[in-house]
Structure 1
Amino acid sequence: MIKHKDFTFMMISAFLCAALFGVKVTGTAVHTLIGLLLGILSTVHLFAKWKKYRFMPVNIRRIDQILILSFLFILISGIISHLTAGMLLFKIIHKLSSLVFCIGLIGHVIQHKKYLIKA
């Protein structure tokens, strides 16, 4: 059985990620707010798990590094895209980084499955 707190955190994160892909439905302002909320939740999660991070297996750390790097690309390309009135290059980087982040998030949850399940 999955721990209640971790399951809730996973569901909120998954919902926020899914909502971010619906920019035409939510609008740019809501997209930005949801992105910032997801960034805050990710940062809180990262700092909460930071002490355990160095003892994690290398393959789990690689996924974490991909998540962090892709999130930075998402953040930077989103800001630059907004400032440059949607320059195509930054839109492409933003969308590809978002896809990598979502794939990495799925891998992250799968790899941490044994840590989420009560013994």
Structure 2
Amino acid sequence: MDELAEAVGRKLAVLTGAEWGLVTTGSAAAVSQAVAACVAGNDPEKMLKIPLRGEKMVVVAADQRMAYEHAIRAVGCMVRPIGRASDLDQIEIGKIAAVCVVASDIPKSVLSFEQM
């Protein structure tokens, strides 16, 4: 299974131009996998600590909230909406696991991609 997942990941990367690819059972699973990867990377010790107990957070623009935030919380991260770029200055950098950007909402968001 590991060899198959690795081969599929490489093929998806070629097809999409991404660094790597991952097949999931849906959007919620993809969000959870992405957040877990941000939290643990390739460290088996960190993987065993998932779900976390809220010590990490995923930052999201307040106007980009989404229905899949439960998938972030399932990993044990808090969802932290922000309304201004300066709100990021109020968050300890070590507590941020990821920044969530909803691609389709970037043009409409109060916070630009660069600000996030």
TM-score interval, normalised by the smaller of the two chains = under 0.3
TM-score, normalised via structure 1 length: 0.25
TM-score, normalised via structure 2 length: 0.25
* Higher strand proportion (structure 1 or 2): 2
* Higher helix proportion (structure 1 or 2): 1
